[in-house]
Amino acid sequence: MIIKRLLMSVAALALSTGLAHAQYSDGKIKIGVLTDLSGTYSDLAGQGNVVAAQMAAEDAGGKINGMPIEIVSADHQNKADIASSIARKWYENEGVDAIADLVTTAAARAVREISKEKGKIDLISGAASLPLTNDWCSPTGFHWTYDNFATGAGTAASVTKQGGSSWFFLTADYAFGHDLQAQSERAIKANGGEIKGSVRHPFPNADFSSFLLQAQASGAKIIGLANAGADTINAIKQAKEFGITKNQNLVGLLIFISDIHSLGLETAQGMMLTTGFYWDIDDQTRAFAKRFAAKMNGRMPSMVQAGVYSAVSHYLKSIQAAKTDEGVKVADKMRELPIKDFFAKNGKLRPNGRMVHDMYLAQVKTPAESKGPWDYYKILRTIPGDEAFQPMSESTCPLTKK
C-alpha cells in the first residue's frame, strides 16, 4: 500500500510539473533589448539598457517557475526597417518572448505592429511619442518611462509660468520631434504664452548654426529644443559658442542626466527639466544606481535605463504569477498587478498601455551647489502621475472605446 501511494505521488508530481512546464513555449523566458547601441541615443539608452535588463533578471533569481531567463540585445541604429527585421527574426526564429526599450519613435512603432501581430509583449522605455498609447496602442504593448506629454508639457508649462512668455522651437524632423513640439505648444498656450515660430532640423544633426540664427532672429525669449540626446547637446554647445544665450534662454524639452554629464554644470546650470527618475531621491534609488554604476564604469542610470529595469522586472513578476509566457495572458496580469519598485512607487497600467507614475520637476545645480560627480539635480516638485500624464479621458486608443 505504501509503495502504491508513493508511486501515485510521484506520478502526480510529474504530471503537475509537466503541466507547469507546458505553459511555457520553449522552456525558457527570453527577452530582447532592442536599442541604439552606437548612435545619437546610445548614452541615454544603449548598453545601459542591456545592463538594466540583466539586473532585473538577476534580481528575479535568473529563473521563473524553473524556466531560465535569457537576455539578448541588438542595435537597431534608430532605423525602423532594421528594428522590424530584428524583431521578426527574434519572434519567429529565436524564441524571444518580449522586446524592451525601443528608443526612437520610428523603431518603436515598427516593432509595436509586429508585436501586436505575433501576440508578443513590447516594453517601450526610450521612445516618447504620445500616439504609442493613443492611435498606436496595443493589447500587448506598454509605454513605461515617460512621454512627450509628461516631459515637454511639464517643462514648458513651468517655464512659461516663470516668465518665459514667447517661444521659438528647434525641432527634430521626425515623429518624435513633431509630437514633442505639439505637446509643448499646447502647454505654453494654455498658460498664456506665445509661439514666435519654429524650424525643423535633420535627425541626427551636427551643425545647428543656420537653425540657431533663425531662432535668434525671432526675438523669442525662449528657444525650445524639441529634440534629444546628442542633438540637444550639440545645439546647446553651439548656442553658447555663438553668444545666443546672452539674450535668450534655451530650454531642453527632453533632457537626460547623461546630457548634463556631457554638457557639464558650467554650461547646463539653471536648466529646468522634467524627469521620471533621479538616482539621488531615496535609499532605494541610490542602491540601484550604485549597483548600476559598478557595472557601467561609474555612470549613473538615466530615466530610460531605470525604466527598462522596472518594466522587465514587472514583466517577469507577471509571467511568474500568470504561469505562462503567452503574451495576451501576461499582458492581462501586468495590468492586474501593482507596480512597486525604486522607479515607480505607486505605478499603475492604464488600459491603453500607459504606465502612470510620479514625475519630477528638476533644476540643474550650479557648480558651487554640486557636492560631487553626478550630483546634478535639485528636485523642485513631485508631479503626481495622474497630473503628469495625459488624462485617460483624452486617449484615442481604440482599446478604450466601448
In the prediction, which pLDDT does 401 show?
75
Q: Which value, to the nearest 10 degrees, does the dihedral of the CA atoms of residues 79, 82, 87, 93 take?
A: -170
Q: Looking at residue 20, what is its pLDDT?
A: 45
What's the chain's Rg over C-alpha atoms? 22
Question: How many angstroms separate the CA atoms of 25 and 31, rounded?
Answer: 13
The span from the CA of 79 to the CA of 40, in Å, is 12
- pLDDT given for residue 397 in this prediction: 97
pLDDT of residue 42: 96
Beta bridge partners of 378: 363
Residue 100 bridge partners (DSSP): 33, 123
Whether 309 contacts 52, CB under 8 Å: yes
Residue 294 C-alpha from the chain's centroid: 22
Low-confidence ranges of the chain (pLDDT < 70): 1-22, 402
153-183 pLDDT, tens digit per residue, is 889 998 999 899 999 999 999 999 999 999 9
CA distance 129 to 60: 30
Per-residue 3-state assignment (H helix, E strand, C coil) for the chain: CHHHHHHHHHHHHHHHHHHHHHCCCCCCEEEEEEECCCCCCCCCCHHHHHHHHHHHHHHCCCEECCEEEEEEEEECCCCHHHHHHHHHHHHHHCCCCEEEECCCHHHHHHHHHHHHHHCCEEEECCCCCHHHHCCCCCCCEEECCCCHHHHHHHHHHHHHHCCCCEEEEEEECCHHHHHHHHHHHHHHHHCCCEEEEEEEECCCCCCCHHHHHHHHHHCCCEEEEECCCHHHHHHHHHHHHCCHHHCCEEEECCCCHHHHHHHCHHHHCCCEEEECCCCCCCHHHHHHHHHHHHHCCCCCCCHHHHHHHHHHHHHHHHHHHHCCCCHHHHHHHHHHCCECCCCCCCEEECCCCEEECCEEEEEECCCCCCCCCCCCEEEEEEECHHHHCCCHHHCCCHHHCC
Per-residue pLDDT, 153: 87
Given this model, what pLDDT does residue 147 score?
96
pLDDT of residue 12: 45
Which pLDDT does position 5 carry in this prediction?
A: 53
pLDDT given at position 24: 81
CA distances from 353 to 90, 356, 392 (A): 22, 9, 11
Q: Structure pTM?
A: 0.90
Cα angle at 282 between 276 and 284, to 5 degrees?
A: 85
Residues 6+ apart with CB under 8 A from 250: 222, 223, 225, 235, 236, 239, 244, 271
